[in-house]
Amino acid sequence: MHIPDGYLGPATYGTLFGITAPFWGYASWKLNRTLKSRQAPYLALGAAFSFVIMMFNIPVLGGTTGHATGTTLIAVLLGPWATIIAVSVALVIQALLFGDGGITALGANCFNIAVAGGLAGWGIYRVIAAGSDVRSKRRLVAAAIAAYLSLNVSALLTAVELGVQPLLERSPEGQPLYSPYPLTITIPAMLLEHVFLFGVVEAVITALVLRYLQKHEPEMLRL
Amino acid sequence: MPKARFLDKTLLAVANVAQQSLFSESFSVRRGLLQALDARVKLVTFLFILILISFLHDPRSLWGLYIVSLALAGLSRVPLGFFLKRVWLFVPLFSAAIVLPAVLNIVTPGDPVWVLLRLSGPRTWGPYSLPAEITITEQGLRGANLFLSRVAASVAFAILLTLTSKWSAIFSGLRSLFAPRIFVMTLSMTERYLFVFLRLIQDMYRARKSRTIHPFSPAAERHWTASRIGVTFKKSIDMSEDIHKAMLSRGFQGEFRSLDRFHLSPADAAWVAAVLFAGVVLILFEKGILNS
């Protein structure tokens, strides 16, 4: 899901930086008002959690393992604005320090995963879980559906950004200059694996973690 | 005996992050060309190079830049074998694999270079169609070459930046790109506490592995993994409270001050001039004003 450097043209990655920046600005302003001096340690630990969550391998089927991105889980636990900053910081660290995800594509990756994924996950969870008790099953179902849909929203956005490259960025001879595949290929390629596999893994892990917290740390779910 | 592979995979993921950080740290303190540069200068110039790469459309310019990255790695005392492995092993090789179908006329129509398959006739399914002949096209090959050269050059410079810079210097350098202080502070705190978390996960998984004679059912293992994620989250919140209290007790009032002091040297000025000169030469070459 992390788009590397060289896959998106300047028009796309520039626009996505422009779209993501106001979300970063608003989230920072909002958190500064609510968290005050607690902001940096709270977000830093949230970002570190966001980074390490991908390392937890979980048994899937027939001895295979999978992992979650954890965006919806973080949104449910920390709220949408802290998620935007925490997941973005984790993505910046992955790109700048580990070479995972492009530096020029940072705006796109942050938009797809942190902004759209975080807001979709949080919004869907809030709508389905509205008015329910902290320990209710409805919250688990809400978290699973939100995680599943949020991951697929991120995957769809990634597919669209890659798929519009041959339309937007062509040489005078009509040759694609960046990612060469059209929407008819990128959308099914990205969505097939996310709809049938990764989305399910994300939903299961999110619901199971929430179930554990409902049982042992319900005060963490008051948000 | 069935093995709990998910335990090993998680431990391996943790070890990989620690190993990568160790390698980067060991190269960033060597006495080389890029290590001697001011962090702000390096970050801004590397960003310029990455943006420049995204604007170049001639594979010769991109491969030229890739060769320059190899020379810079050598001058920065990064072993060439290690650098090549680090650059090619992940993104470019993956990109080469995914770009392969794009050389065919199914994705990139054009002049056939090699006929791979002849069908009885063209086929169409909704928006998808297969021509009567499946061929490798000249346009497809050129597009794949351009795409791979761009990815290779970009990844080479991105890896060079990470290998030759101390992480703290990269974060401080972000200030010069007008990143808000709070963002830079969060980044450096995240980097520090990331390793605390890695240690925590490693301890939890090693303890579990040392007690595992036979794994439980996949469902029970999923519950166990979820409980470890939950515990990690709980610890992260507790730790953030403790850290905040520790910061306040040391006089923190919400203002972030960096201890890093940057000194621009003649070497930095020469590096900036060289990068700008290379950029102008490449742009002139691509515009056809400068001939090879």
Q: Residue B243: closest CA among chain A residues belongs to which residue? A: A41
pLDDT beyond 70 at B53? yes
For range A75-82, the mean pLDDT: 92
**Percentage of chain B exceeding pLDDT 90:** 34
Q: Give DSSP secondary structure letters for A191-209.
A: HHHIIIIIHHHHHHHHHHH
Do A38 and B240 count as a contact with CB atoms less than 8 A apart? yes
pLDDT at A26: 92
Structural domain A10-221, CATH architecture: Orthogonal Bundle (1.10)
User: In chain B, positions 75-114, which contact chain A (CB-CB < 8 Å)?
Assistant: 86, 90-91, 95, 99, 102, 107-108
Q: Which of A3, A32, A42, A45 to probe by mutation at the B interface, max B CB count within 10 Å?
A: A45
Do A178 and B147 count as a contact with CB atoms less than 8 A apart? yes
- Picking from A152, A57, A79, A67, the residue whose alpha carbon sits closest to that of residue A113 is A152
User: What's the DSSP call for residue A87?
Assistant: H
**Percentage of chain A exceeding pLDDT 90:** 63
pLDDT band at B133 (very low <50, low <70, confident <90, very high): confident
Q: What is the pLDDT of residues B233-265, one digit of tens each?
A: 898 888 888 888 898 898 887 666 666 666 778
Query: Considering the entire predicted model, what is its pTM?
Result: 0.91
pLDDT at B292: 61
Q: Does B51 reach chain A within 8 Å, measured CB to CB?
A: yes
Q: What is the pLDDT of residues A13-53, one digit of tens each?
A: 999 999 999 999 999 888 888 877 777 888 888 888 888 88
Q: What is the pLDDT of residues B73-126, one digit of tens each?
A: 999 999 999 899 888 887 778 888 888 998 998 888 889 998 888 888 888 888
User: In chain A, positions 36-75, which contact chain B (CB-CB < 8 Å)?
Assistant: 36-49, 51-61, 63, 65, 70, 73
pLDDT at A223: 65
Do A45 and B237 count as a contact with CB atoms less than 8 A apart? yes
Domain range summary for chain A, segments of one domain joined by +: 10-221
Which tokens hold the place of B270? 């020469």
Q: What is the pLDDT of residues B176-231, one digit of tens each?
A: 777 777 788 888 888 888 888 888 888 998 898 888 887 788 888 889 999 999 99
pLDDT at B259: 64
For range A150-168, the mean pLDDT: 95
Residues 6+ apart with CB under 8 A from B96: B148
The Cα–Cα gap between A176 and B103 comes to 12
Q: Which residue has the higher pLDDT, B268 or B215?
A: B268
Q: Which residues of A touch B237 (CB under 8 A)?
A: 45, 220
Q: Which residue has the higher pLDDT, A81 or A39?
A: A81
Q: Does B252 reach chain A within 8 Å, measured CB to CB?
A: yes
Do A55 and B170 count as a contact with CB atoms less than 8 A apart? no
Q: What is the pLDDT of residues A162-213, one digit of tens each?
A: 999 999 988 887 788 999 999 999 999 999 989 998 999 999 999 999 999 9
pLDDT at B1: 43
pLDDT at A157: 96
CA distance, residue A183 to nearest chain B CA (Å): 10
**Facing residues of B112 across strands?**
B137
pLDDT beyond 90 at A67? no
Q: Give DSSP secondary structure letters for A125-149.
A: HHHHHTT--TT-HHHHHHHHHHHHH
Q: Does A26 reach chain B within 8 Å, measured CB to CB?
A: no
How much is the mean pLDDT over chain B? 86
Q: Does B185 reach chain A within 8 Å, measured CB to CB?
A: yes
pLDDT band at B3 (very low <50, low <70, confident <90, very high): low
Q: Residue A40: closest CA among chain B residues belongs to which residue? A: B186
A74 in Cβ contact with A83 (< 8 Å): yes
B105 in Cβ contact with B137 (< 8 Å): yes
Alpha helices in A36-136 (DSSP H): 39-52, 71-78, 80-98, 106-109, 117-129
Q: How many CB pairs under 8 A join A and B?
A: 244
The Cα–Cα gap between A76 and A193 comes to 24
